[in-house]
Amino acid sequence: MKSRIAFIITLSILSQTTSYAETVDLNSLVKTQQDIDRSNRQENKIIKKDVFSSQVKTQVDFLDFPVEKNCLTINTLIVENDFLNNSTIRKIKKSVAGKCLGAQGIEQLAIGLQDYYINSGYVTTRVDVPGQNLTTHQLKLVVMPGRIENIIISDDAIRPGILPFKAEDILNLRDIEQGLEVLQKAPNLKVKINIEPGHQNGYSNVVINADRTKNWNGKVWMNNWGDEATGKVLAGGAAYIYNLAHMNDTFYLSGTTNTERSSGGYKSVSAYYSVPWGYWDYEVFYSSSQSKQNIPLETWNYKYTGDSDYLSLKGNRTVYRDSNKKVALSAELIKRKVNYKLEDIELALQKRDMTNARFGINYKQNFNRALLDSTLSYQRFVPFLGGEKTPDMKSGDVSAQSHLYNLNANYTTLFNVKNFVAYYALSSGLQYSPDKLTLQDQFTLGDRWNVRGFENTQGLYGDKGFYAQNTFNLITGIKNIEWYAGVDYGEIWGETYPQGAYSGKKLLGATSGFKGNINTLAYDIALSTPLLYPDELNADKLNVNFTLSYQL
């Protein structure tokens, strides 16, 4: 039976090559399923809270000493117990050499040095001026590190081992901020951290009050993020469990399916687990999806089925942070396995069993009334976890290494207007590859995550390109309603695929809508329209987009 079907399919395709190429692009069907899978990941994404200090820094690099009658020339500044010993401390020492300091100047120097430690996050560290003989022309200042005596956690809600500080550590506000991020990683947990005097001189207790309303959440949703052929309207649900191992860990299990009765269909399941550990964060994500639809060829309707599995193992570490910015490095191993069939014939050219390694650096900065979040990443194919080269890699049509560079930047700023509250959000992305890429790694334009207005099209895809999504948001003040409007632009650099199918490589679209919530019911309803696109791209003039979610 299989050989008979294969013969019929082959004969049909050979006899209708032109019609087939014009009406069916199997690669676009693969990309559509991939985009729906990505939308499901976005729907379940847990937003992590960033913590930045509001502390005002004092400039201490160069100290302007007063002129005093009773002073002694200081040739050497000795800073005892200096646990920083960085370039700024050395610069302060150099600036003091040769200066004539009296009581006022010495006090100013000690305060300035102490302010530098406080600005660096050591808010309980003090600088003292001990009794000494200044006729030696040496000035000694003693740093008294403020240390942690005890970590007190209410109700033993979490294991103290996940925090980035421990007893006897020098107390640093940056560690406290990181600890607060660790504790706020899971929703439903209200956290307050107090620094209280300890029993020993120079010691403090870190008191953590954690109030968790419940350790679970449930969510159901409905949206029209699907595809016409597999079911436009999707419905799903997710169950979230928090603090399973008393490590403020997060687990969820989610499922999505199409709601309409049709010849096609889509369904997926996914699971996620993450656990913080100090300045580290570990994540595991897995999803499995299936799509099916009928493909008409001449007088036949062929059943086209796609199965996709996605596994991600990721580690993330914050390597630097201060009062308004932080830098994190990440390493991720991605396993993708896809298999497509026409009837019961496996399509070998669309089969994938790929493993990729991705390395990234994330930079966040908190400005006055604005926030920047940017990530630069590099990805390539690796032969791990059973990963195999794709058929087009083996044939040499695309790069076997699949080198891929991505830059994503999000910038949000508030408008300082008296009569209303508004903000502007920029979301931009750039992908570059020096070589041709296999289908799953190609850059896609024309969905709700980059250029809106093309939600019901196949979009454009190629090896490299960029987009800029611009959205103006107005908080109306009426029953939590927020109005937004946006204009987006994107462009493919180099070839678009299928090659020669499109005369243009640029997309421009616009959208406007309302979003908000009524208690635990959240909604987002919008209209979008394409403004600029290739003539060959079949784009609807107006798209209605919606998503509803209810939090249990």
DSSP at 170: B
Q: What's the mean pLDDT in 287-307?
A: 88
Average pLDDT score over residue span 465-494: 95
Q: Which residues pair with 332 in a beta bridge?
A: 314, 358
Confidence (pLDDT) at 368: 87
| C-alpha distances in Å from residue 356, one per residue of 43, 91, 105, 390 | 24, 46, 60, 12
* % of the chain beyond a pLDDT of 90: 68
Place of tokens 């649900």: 237
Residue range 501-513: mean pLDDT, rounded: 95
**pTM for the whole thing?**
0.89
For the cut 70, the answer to whether the pLDDT of residue 58 exceeds it is: no
What is the pLDDT of the chain when averaged over all its residues? 90
- What pLDDT, on a 0 to 100 scale, did the predictor assign at position 289? 96
pLDDT band at 21 (very low <50, low <70, confident <90, very high): very low
Closest CA relative to residue 404, chosen from 352, 444, 449, 442:
442
SS3 assignment, position 430: strand
E-state strands within 298-324: 300-321
Residue with tokens 């590859």: 433
Residue 328 has pLDDT above 50, yes or no: yes
**Dihedral sign of CA atoms 54, 59, 60, 63 in order:** negative
Domain range annotation of the chain:
72-144, 362-552
Segment among 49-53, 99-103, 218-222, 535-539 with least mean pLDDT: 49-53
Phi/psi of residue 179, each to 5°?
A: -65, -40
Instruction: Return the bridge partners of 515, or none.
Output: 482, 524
Lowest mean pLDDT among 62-76, 301-315, 420-434, 525-539: 62-76
265 pLDDT above the threshold of 60: yes
State the Cα–Cα distance between residues 118 and 145, nearest whole angstrom. 11
**Distance, first Cα to last Cα, the chain:** 50
CATH superfamily label, 72-144: membrane protein fhac (3.10.20.310)
User: Which element (helix H / strand E) includes 331?
Assistant: strand 325-342
Cα separation, 32 vs 340, in Å, equals: 13
For 102-131, what is the mean pLDDT? 93
pLDDT grade for 97, boundaries at 50, 70 and 90: very high
Fold of 362-552: Porin (2.40.160)
Q: 12 pLDDT exceeds 60?
A: no
Examine the pLDDT at 497 and tell me if it is beyond 50.
Answer: yes
